[in-house]
């Protein structure tokens, strides 16, 4: 195996024997083969679609497969064997492309052992040139981000054929010998498609669940059994709340589900108690002390401990060997009665964390409703600067930097955040500036689009270019959705973004050089240095 798609990759180079995330060698190889076959499907389907002979279902299959392979989504080998068979079946129904075809379009196994053998040969290192590999993988990881966000919009009925079409064009391109300029162009185009996908998802969420409102969320527990829901899927939360109503079972959000509390659709629900715990990587302790069933709707899943494994359920693209999986029926309905019945036999959750209230729901509509006070505060100097600190959280000690940075920010600065990165500073009690919270949490990483809307609106209000605003970017990344958000920001022309806690291992020195020269992209440094750079006196 060789995997270097996330920030925690071994020694900042690549996981080669087992993933730090817990992914084993066979699973990592099967993931490589699934992606290889998705590329093969795309090579056939792109020209076939142009001739009206394409397989319209291939796009959905590819995007759900890419989401499945994102870090901390699915560790279940059986699921990958099944997806590999489906990929071959889908591919073989699409007419062959003209001329001789790539191996990814024609390879077919006789049995499972051939699948296992092939899976060892088609990984990232198949591309020998380091810079070509870097650009291809940067594109594939961006496409994984597009696929994840698109999945969330699509299950709410919001689709756009151009998005899966681009994902297939991008995948197919990685099997071709393209020039550096062509590859770079596709990477940046992927960022543009990312903006479009995030906008679609924003529309899907706000149309379905209402426009988020600035909301205070409790982190205390009640004396009744509960179900904990984590991940990003708000539709699962909606179904769970409908089914737990009147059962005496409470529901708590965890990790990236915290922003749900800001949506009108989830307000005033008696058994939606609050948020429990922090970001994804604390789940070993937090799932233990929660005592009740846990529903994992998307990334990030951490390999569970035996002590609580029997009360963890996965759904949708998530999977882990031995965990119970809840499938949707043909109408998309999910039956959570097994969790509810199990919860009734469990003890109530034990308190965790410092139990301070959290503020969320500061998405674009809520913040722009404050446009007057915000622009006034900027004009009269009450707000000196905004720092965009969106992105992911992770286990590495270096991430304490983000807590220290937030603490060290002067009192006339405001943090704009989205994603689970916020757990590094959302319970610090940083206060407000004339009623404007100093940590404006726009929501999940899925809601990063809000930050773009806010920045664009401010640029318009002040009649300046987006890069002339008093805004700095200090972004924390971990998985591939964050890669896409970064590409989206670059596509919007945003310069001088700082990322951390380390640079992606898949960005080669030459590719980094291009990003530095064209966009001023840089790595974070010390709190003192970065404060000087990002909050000029």
* Sequence ranges of the binding site for hybrid [4Fe-2O-2S] cluster: 232, 256, 300, 392, 420, 445, 479, 481
| Structure token pair of residue 224 | 């009744």
Min separation Cβ 148 and ligand SF4, Å = 14
Q: Which residues contact 441 (CB under 8 A, 6 or more apart)?
A: 259, 358, 359, 360, 361, 362, 417, 418, 422, 426
Residue 8 interacting entry, from ligand SF3, ligand SF4, none, C-beta within 5 to 8 Å by type: ligand SF4
> Cβ distance 416 to 489 under 8 Å?
no
392 contributes a contact to ligand SF3 by CB under 6 A? yes
Distance set, CA 388 to CA 6, 22, 399 (Å): 21, 31, 16
141 contributes a contact to ligand SF4 by CB under 6 A? no
My answer on whether omega of the bond before 215 falls inside 30° of 0, hence cis, is no
Size of the site for ligand SF3 (CB under 6 A): 15
Nearest CA to 294 out of 312, 271, 276, 321 is that of: 312
Q: Report the site for ligand SF4 in 53-72 (rule: CB under 6 A).
A: 71
| Eight-class DSSP state of 253 | E
Residue 420 interacting entry, from ligand SF3, ligand SF4, none, C-beta within 5 to 8 Å by type: ligand SF3
Gyration radius (Cα) of the chain, Å? 23
Q: Which residues contact 486 (CB under 8 A, 6 or more apart)?
A: 191, 475, 477, 497, 499
Nearer CB in complex with ligand SF3: 378/445: 445
Question: Rounded CA gap, 276 and 288, in Å?
Answer: 12
23 contributes a contact to ligand SF4 by CB under 6 A? yes
Min separation Cβ 6 and ligand SF3, Å = 9
> Cβ distance 388 to 421 under 8 Å?
no
Of 9, 69, 297, 508, the residue at the interface with ligand SF4 (CB under 6 A) is 9
280 contributes a contact to ligand SF3 by CB under 6 A? yes
3 contributes a contact to ligand SF4 by CB under 6 A? yes
Helices (H), 291-387: 337-344, 364-368, 371-379
Helix 180-209 to helix 130-155 angle (10° resolution) is 20
- Which positions from 232 to 271 touch ligand SF3 by CB under 6 A, shown as an x/- string? -----------------------xx---------------
Nearer CB in complex with ligand SF4: 473/478: 478
Q: Report the site for ligand SF3 in 408-447 (rule: CB under 6 A).
A: 419-420, 444-445
Q: Which stretch in 60-68, 174-182, 397-405, 477-485 sits in contact with ligand SF3 by CB under 6 A?
A: 477-485
- Residue 323: CB atoms within 10 A of its CB come to 19
CB-count burial class (<10 Å; 0-12, 13-18, 19+) for 270: exposed
> Cβ distance 141 to 186 under 8 Å?
no
Q: Report the site for ligand SF3 in 70-89 (rule: CB under 6 A).
A: 72
Residue 3 interacting entry, from ligand SF4, ligand SF3, none, C-beta within 5 to 8 Å by type: ligand SF4
244 alpha carbon, distance to own chain's centre: 27
Min separation Cβ 500 and ligand SF3, Å = 14
Of 147, 243, 299, 474, the residue at the interface with ligand SF3 (CB under 6 A) is 299
145 contributes a contact to ligand SF3 by CB under 6 A? no
Min separation Cβ 231 and ligand SF4, Å = 17
Q: Rounded to 5 degrees, what are φ and ψ at 87?
A: -60, -45
Residues tagged in the binding site annotation for [4Fe-4S] cluster: 3, 6, 15, 21
Min separation Cβ 280 and ligand SF3, Å = 4
Min separation Cβ 298 and ligand SF3, Å = 8
Residue with the shortest CB distance to ligand SF4: 19
Residue 300 interacting entry, from ligand SF3, ligand SF4, none, C-beta within 5 to 8 Å by type: ligand SF3
Nearer CB in complex with ligand SF4: 6/453: 6
Nearer CB in complex with ligand SF3: 173/315: 315
Min separation Cβ 479 and ligand SF4, Å = 7
**Paired strand residues for 252:** 228, 274
Min separation Cβ 395 and ligand SF4, Å = 10
Nearest CA to 143 out of 122, 172, 123 is that of: 172
Specify the DSSP element, H or E, that contains 289.
Answer: helix 283-290
**Paired strand residues for 229:** 253, 295
Specify the DSSP element, H or E, that contains 473.
Answer: strand 471-476
Nearer CB in complex with ligand SF4: 234/421: 421
Question: Rounded CA gap, 145 and 161, in Å?
Answer: 17
Binding site for ligand SF3 (CB under 6 A): 72, 255-256, 280, 299-300, 392, 419-420, 444-445, 478-479, 481-482
Binding site for ligand SF4 (CB under 6 A): 3-6, 8-9, 15, 19-21, 23, 28, 71
């Amino acid at each position: 195996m060789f995997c270097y798609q996330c920030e925690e990759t071994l020694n900042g180079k690549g996981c080669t024997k087992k993933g730090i995330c817990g992914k084993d060698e066979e699973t990592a190889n099967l993931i490589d083969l699934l992606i290889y076959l998705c590329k093969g499907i795309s090579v056939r389907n792109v020209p076939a679609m142009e001739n009206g002979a394409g397989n319209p279902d291939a796009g959905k299959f590819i995007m759900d497969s890419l989401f499945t392979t994102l870090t901390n989504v699915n560790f279940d080998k059986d699921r990958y064997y099944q997806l590999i068979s489906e990929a071959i079946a889908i591919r073989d129904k699409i007419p062959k492309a003209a001329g001789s075809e790539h191996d990814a379009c024609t390879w077919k196994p006789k049995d499972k052992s051939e699948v296992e053998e092939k899976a060892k040969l088609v990984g990232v290192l198949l591309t020998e040139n380091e810079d070509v590999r870097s650009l291809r993988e940067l594109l594939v990881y961006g496409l994984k981000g597009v696929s994840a966000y698109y999945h969330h919009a699509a299950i709410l009925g919001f689709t756009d054929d151009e998005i899966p079409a681009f994902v297939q064009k991008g995948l197919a391109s990685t099997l071709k010998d393209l020039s550096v300029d062509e590859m770079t162009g596709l990477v940046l185009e992927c960022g543009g498609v990312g903006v479009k996908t995030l906008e679609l998802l924003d529309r899907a969420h706000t149309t379905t669940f209402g426009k988020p409102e600035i909301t205070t969320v409790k982190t205390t527990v009640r004396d009744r059994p509960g179900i904990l829901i984590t991940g990003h899927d708000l539709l699962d939360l909606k179904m769970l709340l409908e089914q737990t109503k009147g059962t005496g079972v409470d529901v708590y959000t965890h990790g990236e589900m915290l922003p749900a509390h800001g949506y009108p659709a989830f307000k005033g629900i008696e058994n939606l108690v609050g948020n429990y715990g922090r970001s994804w990587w604390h789940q070993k302790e937090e799932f233990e002390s929660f005592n009740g069933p846990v529903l994992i709707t998307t990334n990030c899943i951490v390999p569970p401990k035996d002590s609580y494994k029997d009360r963890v359920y996965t759904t949708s693209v998530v999977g882990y060997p031995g965990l119970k999986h809840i499938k949707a029926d043909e109408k998309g309905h999910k039956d959570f009665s097994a969790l509810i019945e199990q919860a009734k036999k469990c003890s109530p959750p034990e308190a965790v964390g410092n139990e301070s209230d959290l503020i969320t729901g500061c998405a674009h509509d809520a913040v722009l409703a404050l446009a007057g006070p915000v622009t006034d505060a900027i004009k009269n100097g009450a707000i000196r600067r905004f720092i965009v600190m969106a992105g992911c959280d992770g286990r590495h000690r270096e991430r304490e930097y983000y807590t220290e940075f937030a603490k060290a920010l002067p009192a006339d600065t405001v943090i704009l955040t989205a994603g689970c990165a916020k757990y590094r500073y959302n319970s610090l009690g940083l206060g407000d500036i004339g009623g404007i919270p100093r940590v404006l949490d726009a929501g999940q990483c899925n809601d990063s689009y809000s930050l773009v809307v806010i920045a664009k609106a401010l640029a318009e209000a002040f009649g300046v270019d987006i890069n002339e605003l008093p805004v700095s970017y200090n972004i924390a990344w971990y998985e591939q959705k964050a890669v896409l958000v970064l590409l989206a920001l670059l596509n919007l022309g945003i310069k001088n973004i700082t990322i951390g806690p380390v640079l992606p291992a898949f960005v080669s020195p030459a590719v980094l050089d291009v990003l530095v020269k064209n966009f001023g992209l840089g790595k974070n440094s010390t709190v003192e240095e970065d404060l000087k750079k990002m909050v000029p006196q």
